[in-house]
Amino acid sequence: MKVKKLISFLFSTALIAGIGFAIYLNQDFCKIQINKVKGMYYVHKGDIAYKELKMNKAIKMYNQGVRLFPGHYGAWYNLGNIYVAYEDYPSALYAYSQAFKHNPRLMIARMNYGIIATEKLGNFDIAIEQFDKIIKTKRHLLTIPYVYDNKVSSKVNKAIAYYNKGVAYRMKSLYSDDNWEKQRKYLGKAINSYKKSIKIDPNRYDTWYNLGIAYHISGNFNDAGISYCRAIELEPMNFEAHYNLAVLLRRLRHYQESYDEIEKASTLVTALDTNSNAQEYVAMMMNDITKNLYQNPEYKNYLKSIVDKEKVKIKKHSPNKDKEIKENKVNLINGKIAVSDENDKAILRSFGICPSIHFFTFE
């Protein structure tokens, strides 16, 4: 019995000595593991502060966490988001770069990095570099019916990356120091990127709208018109595409159709309480188009029809207006018009139609 206890004691002693010797030989490794544990604790505290919107505390906790555990990409990513909220864009870029440095497949960090670099700092080349890495990243496609499908998310990431790459090239063209050759080159790359995005996701308003702008600036008015019309079909109640199409139609001297589109844009910026600058731009454009209409005798009949429409609207404010409102299924709430579902659909159809599409040819 004593022999067994002695053997057990010697074994335990040898094991403890071995562990101690291993720790002595691998002090750096052990220190790293201990720091990881401490870092995870601070990151956890940062996560709690982040969820509670205590951003200053979250920054402090996350920074302590990544100092001890630099590879925690989730903490770096959240730090980037917080710095963006505080408009500290250089710090945000650094945090995002650390996030995808430690997890190269963290596409959202690369995407945010590229967007901030493009839109806030004007660093177009480094932004395009990250968008290209997103596009080129190969992922193992996995589909489990009714449970999981990463094919869709991978495609969406590529479509968005191509779109943002187009935005970066278009903005880069604006900073080409009046070098028209460079502008055309970058606009061409922007158009190519938008088209690749549309090939993956053909139902994205922003891509069609920005493609229209790129074509418009480059002087390809035909494809600009087609792109604006497609954007209008996708999001009829977004005033920008109506406004830009009105500008394009005025350039092509289609004043009547231009007025129709700017009238829609005016209605939308007023109804949606859009910022005053947008309302001012729309009003100025409407005045300019109206002057063109007055200066062209062939459009006098069109102007007369506009006046007639206004007269009809005035007549609706008659003593029998309540009856008319009821018959048209329109309700008044706090003195404002609230249309019915049927009228909502009719308005969407009206604003989503692009009558001027026949001016543009499809190749």
Output the six-digit token pair for 308. 């007639």
- Contact assessment for residue 267 and residue 242, using Cβ atoms and an 8 Å cutoff: no
Q: Where are the domains of the chain?
A: 232-302+312-363
pLDDT for the residue numbered 16: 54
The span from the CA of 162 to the CA of 197, in Å, is 5
Spatial separation of the C-alpha atoms in residues 115 and 264, rounded to whole Å = 31
DSSP 139: -
Q: Sign of the C-alpha dihedral, residues 157, 163, 166, 168?
A: negative
Token pair in block for residue 265: 């844009």
- The rounded Cα 333 to chain-centroid distance in angstroms is 34
Q: Give residue for tokens 């562990």.
A: 19
Per-residue pLDDT for the chain (363 aa), expressed as one digit of tens each?
Answer: 555 555 554 455 544 544 444 444 455 656 667 878 888 999 999 999 999 999 999 999 999 999 999 999 999 999 999 999 999 999 999 999 999 999 998 999 999 999 999 999 999 999 999 999 999 987 655 455 544 455 557 788 899 999 999 999 999 998 887 788 889 999 999 999 999 999 999 999 999 999 999 999 999 999 999 999 999 999 998 889 999 999 999 999 898 889 889 888 888 888 766 566 777 767 777 777 776 666 665 555 555 565 555 555 555 554 444 444 343 444 444 444 444 565 566 666 778 888 899 999 765
Angle formed by the axes of helices 205-218 and 150-174, nearest 10° = 30
Hunting for tokens 């206890």 — which residue is that? 5
Helix axes 221-234, 239-251, angle to 10 degrees: 150
pLDDT for the residue 93:
97
Instruction: Give the pairing type, strands 148-149 and 330-333.
Output: unpaired
Integer Cα distance of 249 and 357 in angstroms: 10
The label of the residue with tokens 């940062």 reads 46
What's residue 331's pLDDT? Answer: 45
> HSE of 262 in the Cβ direction (CA atoms, 13 Å)?
24
The conformation of residue 144, written as its DSSP 8-state character, comes to E
Place of tokens 């730090």: 79
- Report yes or no: 261 and 253 within 8 Å, Cβ to Cβ: no
Residue 248: phi and psi, rounded to 5, are -65, -45
Reduced to 3 states (helix: H, G, I; strand: E, B; else coil), residue 86 is coil
Structure tokens at 262: 């700017």
Tell me how far apart the alpha carbons of residues 45 and 65 are, in angstroms, rounded to a whole number: 9
Q: CA geometry: angle at 209 spanning 176 and 194, to 5°?
A: 65
